[in-house]
Amino acid sequence: MPAGPYFSPKIETMERSDLDALIDERVRYTVQYAADHSSFYRHWFEKNRINPKEIRIHEDLLSLPLIAGKTIREHQPPVTPEFEFLSTDWSNVFSIQETSGTSGTPKGFFLTWDDWKRYAEKYARSFVSQGFTRKDRIVVCASYGMNVGANTMTIAAQRIGMGIIPMGKCSFDSRILKSYRPTAIVGSVFKLLRLLRRLRTEGVKPEDIAIDKLVAGGESFAEESRKYLAEQWDCPVFNTYGSTEGTMCGECTQLNGLHVPEDIVHLDVYDPRLESFVPDGECGRAVLTTLLPVGGRSGMLLLNYDTEDTTVVLSRETCGCGRTHMRIYNPQREAETAWIFSNSMNRVDIEAAVFQPENMAHLTGEYEAFIYDGEAENEVILRISVECLDLERCDRRLVEDSVVSRFLKNKPGLTHEYHEGNLKILLNFTDPGGLELYRLKGRPKRLIDRREMV
Ligand SMILES: [Zn+2]
């Protein structure tokens, strides 16, 4: 078994039984801390007739109700006079953060310096598991705003002793890569692809720069697009999944799922259609619970928080990297899932179809998809727009066949509707810059459902 390196060796390689005992101890402390320090949880336990002292082990969390993003918004101004999730005195709050607010008023988050240290610990473990050392210099393209991502990485870098270049976005001058010779970049898959295209246009050669790792985060992606990105940059691409709510999971060099830092955040998987938690190996929404070390303090805690991101617990066995913490499948956003003929499809399913190797001689990888009502009753149209490197020379027949067959490959229900003529899949080809998403502000939406009645 390879031994590390690890950021916190003792905890990252702890035997399962010891790890479970530690988790249970933290569950008891955290639940009591929530009841003692937050008016929301005090009322929540009362209303649900739960005695916090009866929550003894992590399995007991499964009997508690779920908390959603909506719950937080309903217990903060302007709905209530106070921030009811706040779980410490204002004087202990080091920073106030907010989620992006794509679905209503942004949720307020309160972090003490101890919270920041725990957030940074999670990222530091993730970076070290990806081979980062104090010799690395990393360009952070995530934005230094109200969400915690970029700042957390920066504190994590300090703890590892590595250098940081806080660009905040991916549209930086290529001079940064040539002059300072950073060894890694954190950004989204598409921003990293665009950056490379720009470097090539500017005539920057591989030997002019020193990048040997990429960290992709901020959105889910298909394995196919990761593979393409890794080939193009000629270096490994590691996934991280983080949020202001406190999930920070990362892939190690084994690239076989994201490690959940189980001593700091507890994760269960819940299927809203079954209204129940599901066993390992089954797909559902990631539900997280903050875990505090005994004696720890926190500005805001989440118990059984529904992230609305779907995942699968892949394994609780020791990983090839020697870490014992469980691994999960790359989470997907449920907001990016649409239902057609009672079959679910996620944006990532389209991405996987677009990034088939044979297509990439013709395409940039940029895409967007729309779902429309058809002319006939019970007809649905899926229109996928792809961007060609050169519209004139693009082999449209090849790309269309490849995209359609890969998209339908793992969707027997949709394949049936497609052959019955109820599902029509149309491919639309554009020049670089021709997609609708370039004209919209904010995070690009690549799957848009435009049906009247869904
Ligand atoms: Zn591992």
Spacing, Cα 394 to ligand 1 middle (Å): 40
Closest CA to 426 of 358, 380, 389, 388: 380
Spacing, Cα 172 to ligand 1 middle (Å): 32
Spacing, Cα 176 to ligand 1 middle (Å): 32
Quote the CA–CA distance of 39 and 300 in Å, as a whole number: 11
Spacing, Cα 83 to ligand 1 middle (Å): 38
Quote the CA–CA distance of 123 and 323 in Å, as a whole number: 15
Task: Classify residue 403 by burial, with Cβ atoms within 10 Å: 0-12, 13-18, 19+.
Answer: buried
Task: Classify residue 104 by burial, with Cβ atoms within 10 Å: 0-12, 13-18, 19+.
Answer: exposed
Spacing, Cα 322 to ligand 1 middle (Å): 6
Quote the CA–CA distance of 303 and 67 in Å, as a whole number: 7
Spacing, Cα 314 to ligand 1 middle (Å): 12
Spacing, Cα 195 to ligand 1 middle (Å): 29
Residue 9 CB neighbours (<10 A): 14
Spacing, Cα 313 to ligand 1 middle (Å): 14
Quote the CA–CA distance of 229 and 213 in Å, as a whole number: 11
Spacing, Cα 280 to ligand 1 middle (Å): 17
Quote the CA–CA distance of 394 and 244 in Å, as a whole number: 42
Spacing, Cα 425 to ligand 1 middle (Å): 39
Spacing, Cα 240 to ligand 1 middle (Å): 13
* DSSP designation for 105: S
Spacing, Cα 67 to ligand 1 middle (Å): 30
Spacing, Cα 324 to ligand 1 middle (Å): 8
Q: What is the pLDDT of residue 410?
A: 86
Q: What is the pLDDT of residue 1?
A: 47
Q: What is the pLDDT of residue 102?
A: 65
Spacing, Cα 256 to ligand 1 middle (Å): 7
Distances (CA, A) of 60 to 28, 101, 282, 432: 10, 31, 20, 53
User: Are the C-beta atoms of 14 and 324 separated by less than 8 Å?
Assistant: yes
CA dihedral sign of residues 328, 329, 334, 335: positive
Spacing, Cα 287 to ligand 1 middle (Å): 22
Spacing, Cα 255 to ligand 1 middle (Å): 7
User: Are the C-beta atoms of 261 and 122 separated by less than 8 Å?
Assistant: yes
| Look-up of token digits 């057609």 | 340
Q: What is the pLDDT of residue 454?
A: 53
User: CA dihedral defined by 69, 73, 74, 75, rounded to 10 degrees?
Assistant: 110
Spacing, Cα 254 to ligand 1 middle (Å): 6
Spacing, Cα 233 to ligand 1 middle (Å): 23
Q: Please state whether beta strands 327-328 and 305-315 pair in parallel, antiparallel, or not at all (unpaired).
A: antiparallel
Quote the CA–CA distance of 367 and 96 in Å, as a whole number: 36
Quote the CA–CA distance of 236 and 167 in Å, as a whole number: 21
Amino acid at 101: G
Residue 400 CB neighbours (<10 A): 17
Spacing, Cα 320 to ligand 1 middle (Å): 6
Please, what are the averages of pLDDT over each run of 10 residues along the chain (454 residues)? 82 98 98 98 96 96 94 96 97 92 83 96 97 98 90 96 96 96 96 95 95 92 96 96 88 96 97 92 96 97 95 96 97 91 93 97 97 93 97 97 96 95 97 91 86 75
Spacing, Cα 251 to ligand 1 middle (Å): 7
Q: What is the pLDDT of residue 355?
A: 98
Spacing, Cα 330 to ligand 1 middle (Å): 14
